[in-house]
Amino acid sequence: MRKYFITGLLILVPLAITLWVLNLIISTMDQTLLLLPTQWRPEVFLKFTLPGMGVILTLLIVFFTGLAAHNFIGRRVVALWEALLTRIPVVNSIYSSVKQVSDTLFSSSGNAFRKAVLVQYPRQGSWTIAFLTGAPGGDVANHLQGDYISVYVPTTPNPTSGFFLMMHKSETVELDMTVDAALKYIVSMGVVAPEVTDKKASTEVPKVGM
C-alpha cells in the first residue's frame, strides 16, 4: 500500500505544482485586462470569464511596445520617458537599477547567464554550479589583482535566491552544459543529471588554482 501511495505522489505532485505555477502566471497576466475600459473587456462579449485572455493582451502589449520603440518616434518617446523617471527621487534609483539588470539579462549582446561554471563554494573542496554574470567593475576592479569574473551561485531548490561572488577565473571551470540543463540540475537537487556530452567524461573533478 505504501508503494502505491508513493507512486501516486510521484505522479500527482509534479502535476499539481505545474498547474499551480501556470495558474499563478495566468492569473497575474490576466490583471492586464483591467487596463481596458469595462465595455471592452472579454467577459462583456462572452458573458463569462475566460482565463488566459490577459496573457494574449500582455503579449500584444509587449510586442507592440517593442515594435514602437524601434522607430524614430518611439525611441524619442522612450528617451523622454526615461529622462522623466530619472528626475524623480527614489523612483530614479529603483528604475535605474532594474533597467541595468534587465538590460544585462535580456540583451542579445550581453553575457549574463550565458555560461554555467563549476566553482568551489562554500569552502575549498566543495563544488557547486554557478552562472557567469560578467566581470567586476568600478572601484572593485581596482582592488582585485588578476583576471576575475563575477558569478551568481543559486540556492536549491529555489534558484531565484543565491549569492553574488567575484572569483579568480583560474578557480572556476567552464562547463559544457546549457544554462537550462544546469538550472534543472540545481532545482532537482542533483537528481536530474544532465546528459553526458560527446567529450570524454572525466571521473575526477578538475583541479584549479587554490
Check whether residue 178 and residue 148 sit in a common domain: yes
Q: What is the pLDDT of residue 8?
A: 86
Neighbours of 182 (CB within 10 A): 22
Mean of the pLDDT values across residues 175-199? Answer: 82
Check whether residue 97 and residue 135 sit in a common domain: no
Mean of the pLDDT values across residues 125-136? Answer: 91
Which grid cell sits at 166?
567575484
Check whether residue 121 and residue 148 sit in a common domain: yes
Is residue 193 assigned to a domain? no
Check whether residue 97 and residue 150 sit in a common domain: no
Q: What is the pTM of this model?
A: 0.56
Number of domains forming the structure of the chain: 2
Contact 33, 57 (CB under 8 A): yes
Check whether residue 20 and residue 92 sit in a common domain: yes
Residue after which a domain boundary falls, among 39, 72, 106: 106
Is residue 196 assigned to a domain? no
Which range, 97-101, 124-128, 133-137, 199-203, has the best average confidence (pLDDT)?
Answer: 124-128
Residue after which a domain boundary falls, among 49, 82, 106: 106
Mean of the pLDDT values across residues 19-33? Answer: 87
Q: What is the pLDDT of residue 55?
A: 87
Check whether residue 148 and residue 79 sit in a common domain: no
Is residue 24 assigned to a domain? yes
Check whether residue 150 and residue 99 sit in a common domain: no
Is residue 21 assigned to a domain? yes
pLDDT 10s digits, 147-179: 999 999 998 888 878 999 999 999 999 999 888
How far from each other are the two terminal CA atoms of the chain, in whole angstroms? 52
Q: What is the pLDDT of residue 121?
A: 92
Check whether residue 123 and residue 183 sit in a common domain: yes
Residue after which a domain boundary falls, among 51, 74, 106: 106
Residue 112 has pLDDT above 90, yes or no: no
- Residue that wins the pLDDT comparison between 185 and 160: 185
Domain hosting 166: range is 116-187
Residue 202 has pLDDT above 50, yes or no: no
In whole numbers, what is the pLDDT of the chain averaged over residues? 82
Check whether residue 14 and residue 73 sit in a common domain: yes
Is residue 133 assigned to a domain? yes
- Residue that wins the pLDDT comparison between 49 and 104: 49
The three state secondary structure string of 156-199 is: CCCCCCEEEEEEEHHHEEECCCCHHHHHHHHHCCCCCCCCCCCC
Check whether residue 121 and residue 101 sit in a common domain: no
Residue 85 has pLDDT above 60, yes or no: yes
Residue 23 has pLDDT above 60, yes or no: yes
Per-residue pLDDT band at 190 (split at 50, 70, 90): confident
pLDDT 10s digits, 56-68: 888 888 888 888 8
Q: What is the DSSP string of the chain?
A: -HHHHHHHHHHHHHHHHHHHHHHHHHHHHGGGGGGS-GGGSHHHHHSS--TTHHHHHHHHHHHHHHHHHTSHHHHHHHHHHHHHHTTSTTHHHHHHHHHHHHHHHH-TT--TTS-EEEEE-SSTT-EEEEEEEE---THHHHT--S-EEEEEEE-SS-TTSEEEEEEEGGGEEE-SS-HHHHHHHHHTTTSSPPPP-SSPPPSSPPP---
Check whether residue 99 and residue 7 sit in a common domain: yes
The residues near 96 (Cβ < 8 Å, ≥ 6 apart) are 86
Check whether residue 170 and residue 76 sit in a common domain: no
